[in-house]
Amino acid sequence: MRKGKDTKRKRQAKLLRWFRKVHRATGAALFIFFFFISITGLLLGWKKHSGGIIMSKSHNGTSTNLKDWLPLDSLHTLANSYLLETVSTELSTEIDRIDVRKEKGMVKFIYANHFWGLQLDGATGNLLHTERRYSDIIEHIHDGSILDNYVGTSDNQIKVFYTSVMGIALLVFTITGFWLWYGPKRMRRNNSAT
């Protein structure tokens, strides 16, 4: 009877050592990536509360009535002109997305090949704000897509690989961390039952 309990305890101790090795190896191998993910995650969580440093506030236009607004293609042409005049004539005018803020009377133009954005009054087309989109830079670092941009991959392959590895690593950390907490409790409970 005693021999069976000793064998069980040895198996539990061996399993605990294995979980500790996996936990330590995963942490050591991916330390720098977890560091970047944690810092960028914190910054993204604070972006709307950064006083405009990470993410610019949305400015108000003159009218929230869409009937008063200029056509979207006219606003787009104006945004491209403002970008080239106020930031640099060397920048691409390829649009990533257009964010229509009816309740603010404003339209945001966010560009694809650099981290600049413009806010225009929907009714007048006047430039309300030019912004360096730091939140987008941080997001691209956070999800690994900044490497896709740098290397020029066709379908975000680096981002998919990176987020898969980091997601699996977080799952491994969760399972091994739980076992490193629960395993010794279980062993002590089994020993006291002897």
Residue 64's domain is classified under what CATH number? Answer: 3.10.450
The predicted model scores a pTM of: 0.76
- Whether 146 and 160 map to the same domain: the answer is yes
Give the ranges where 126-194 is alpha helix by DSSP (H): 134-143, 145-151, 157-192
- Whether 19 and 109 map to the same domain: the answer is no
For residue 3, the enclosing domain spans: 1-54+133-194
Looking at the structure of the chain, the number of domains it has is 2
Domain boundary among 116, 132, 148: 132
Q: What are the structure tokens assigned to 102, written together?
A: 């009816």
Q: Quickly list DSSP for 78-141.
A: HHHHHHHHHT-TTS---EEEEEEEGGGTEEEEEESSSSEEEEEETTT--EEEEEE-HHHHHHHH
- State how far the Cα of 112 lies from the Cα of 130, in Å rounded to an integer: 15
Q: Read off the DSSP letter of residue 47.
A: G
- Whether 192 and 166 map to the same domain: the answer is yes
- Give residue 16's pLDDT: 81
Identify the segments of the chain with pLDDT beneath 50. none
User: For the chain, first and last CA: distance in Å?
Assistant: 10
Over its C-alpha atoms, the chain yields an Rg (Å, rounded) of 26
Domain boundary among 87, 116, 132: 132
- Whether 6 and 40 map to the same domain: the answer is yes
- State how far the Cα of 2 lies from the Cα of 5, in Å rounded to an integer: 5
- Give residue 79's pLDDT: 97
What residues have CB less than 8 Å from 158, skipping those under 6 apart?
Answer: 144, 145, 147, 148, 151
Kindly report the length of the chain. 194
138 — phi, psi (to 5°)? -60, -40
- Whether 149 and 128 map to the same domain: the answer is no
